A and B are shown apart, each in its own frame.
Chain A
């Protein structure tokens, strides 16, 4: 242990405010202290990914909005791909992917989602940053809260709430912009010409953001959020979480200026870890439901350790195994990692396959059931089929229908190509005839083909198996 002269004034300053910090029981607003540090920087970096949420809708691709979830027309546009309801099996894979991603991240590094990425955390962080800019550090904020209403207080408070509501508004507005043309939304929204659903959504998001990030804050994580609890059970003893090294820190004790042969642990009981905690918990009590593993206490503790001349890492990312002196497993040897990775890979492969093999043309075949077959006057058997041609392109296409599977088969009603409108299913009725004597079995598998020349000049094809049914032999 370094034996370094501790700056007396800095330690005094720490203890002066130590009594202000206590564990959150929900009865009052948490005014967390903001300290710089590497985790703080990482937190801003991760949070900045959310800028995509605000800017993404303005991205254009081939003259259209790059990502547009067009609910009224039942189409999702993702750059050049168009996803129709028929492709929605990919959505289940996407949900699987994110569910497993949440599980694997939580199992490895705890509630990293909660701490760095969750919109509740990020928006609350931004809201409190604004609060700090306007009202000052925590002590000043607490004082202002207690102060009687005055013109000055009213001015500061109304600016703060105004900005909060504005952020809430743009949160809602940006959400809506993913579902309708963003530029058109700007042109219509403020003149009362946008869809009623747009106004309702923006109103809901404005109020929701304002209340959740402005007032409920960490209470949302404590009492509202199911994921907080779900993730709690995904942790195990090998999960890396921000943790207090109890063996090194205890017994905690305040440093004295004239400290010489010290017997206490490394924790100087300055309460800085509690001070910076956005949920107001005490990390020294161990992993708990209120801890969103945002690692801000690591920054705080490291700073204090530097000040009092003790090594960093009293609070650090560590597993329970490590803190309790048990052997730790390397990441790659944990079966859990491989099982999760396998599922992630499968889901991702499925989505990639789906997105790359989005066929411009799809064919479905319904065999007529009443009657299953008809005997014609020339002694042949006729089956009736309803074809459903799905055109997933943006242009009308003309689709040629063919059939194979029996060499004496005649296709009736498919002389003219089916004119398939873009983004919709066009039904067509066709008949297939086979001479009765040429039928070898009661059921004859056949395959319908659909073929079209796309406006780009490429050929698109689709196939669908069906059956030809004849009389009992």
Chain B
């Protein structure tokens, strides 16, 4: 082929197509060659410094000792160090002391938002807005008390409501009277319940749980805490079981709450999140959650 090269002396490869289409043996531009050699040097340097060659089970580690997981962990340490400033303070403080400090409250709210999302929002909603059957945490109506101490108790130990099913205890007309009375009480904020209703409320044993004043409070402690068994306050505008109203109230009275063997009974169970029992949340986490729940809007 080289013998009959029609373009001798021009440094071509000798491959000629279509009579004059040929490939020249020009060297690549110098900048290109510099780039190539620099890249090769780079690769050599890189593989010495960083983990690279797969040798046996483990790749070579590189003399810098760098790895992605180490970088990730050092990042975590940095975050932890930043948080430690606040976390150390929170450790030695009570919930009320935390709430008294605006800066720490901000930190705790931000930090507890994740905890709330993971542990509480499934039932109580992302912003504590509640769900049908699950209490609103952003209002000021507390079945078991809304002080920080009571909230902590609730989170740690969980709660289980209880109300007798009255379908076989009360006559049908008594059921209607009581249900109507509950609706009147709610609409008038406790001021307009009928006499017959009050009479039934007092004689049929309701006061044992709902209290003499029907506000769910059995006694008040000197420190402001209230003694309750978790029975609803019948003198406010808030319904424990949605949607509220006559049918809703009558249903609750007839079938009760958490009654074994009663198919239609209301369910009102909150699991315990404390470290003693199911061991789900640490003391610090609970402290943060108490601040968070207390600051949702209805804390006392």
Contacts and interface: CB of A to CB of B under 8 A. Distances in A.
Interface of A: 368-371, 374-379, 382, 384, 419, 427-429, 431, 436
Nearest to A383: B297
A369 B129 CA distance: 10
21 contacts: A368-B127, A370-B126, A371-B125, A371-B128, A374-B136, A374-B138, A374-B139, A374-B298, A375-B136, A375-B237, A376-B140, A376-B298, A377-B141, A377-B236, A378-B236, A378-B237, A379-B189, A379-B236, A379-B237, A384-B296, A436-B237
Contact of A375 (B106, B125, B238, B296): B238
Contacts of B130: 371
Contacts of B129: 370-371, 374
A371 B127 contact: yes
B233 interface: yes
B102 interface: yes
Interface string B130-143: 10000010111100
Contact of B138 (A377, A384, A428): A384
B297 A431 contact: yes
A180 to B, nearest CB: 25
Q: Give the secondary structure class of B's interface.
A: loop
Contacts of B295: 429
A377 B125 contact: no
Interface in B131-190: 136, 138-141, 189
Contacts of B237: 375-379, 436
Interface residues of B, number: 22
Interface of B: 102, 106, 125-130, 136, 138-141, 189, 233, 236-238, 295-298
Contacts of A369: 127
Of the listed residues A369, A374, A378, A428, the one surrounded by the most CB atoms of chain B closer than 10 A to its CB is: A374
Contacts of B126: 370
Contact of B139 (A370, A382, A419, A428): A382
Contacts of A436: 237
A111 to B, nearest CB: 32
Given A378-B189, A378-B236, A378-B237, A371 B140 contact: no
A436 B233 CA distance: 19
A375 B297 CA distance: 11
A370 B137 CA distance: 11
B126 to A, nearest CB: 5
Nearest to B136: A374
A13 B79 CA distance: 77
Contacts of B236: 376-379
B139 A376 contact: yes
B138 A371 contact: yes
Contacts of A374: 129, 136, 138-139, 297-298
A375 B233 CA distance: 14
Q: Which 6 A-B pairs have the closest CB atoms?
A: A370-B127, A371-B129, A377-B236, A379-B237, A377-B141, A374-B138
Contacts of A431: 297
A370 B113 CA distance: 13
Of the listed residues A376, A382, A384, the one surrounded by the most CB atoms of chain B closer than 10 A to its CB is: A376
A260 B224 CA distance: 120
A15 to B, nearest CB: 43
Contacts of B298: 374, 376
B141 A376 contact: yes
Contacts of A371: 125, 127-130, 136, 138
B233 A384 contact: no
Contacts of A370: 125-127, 129
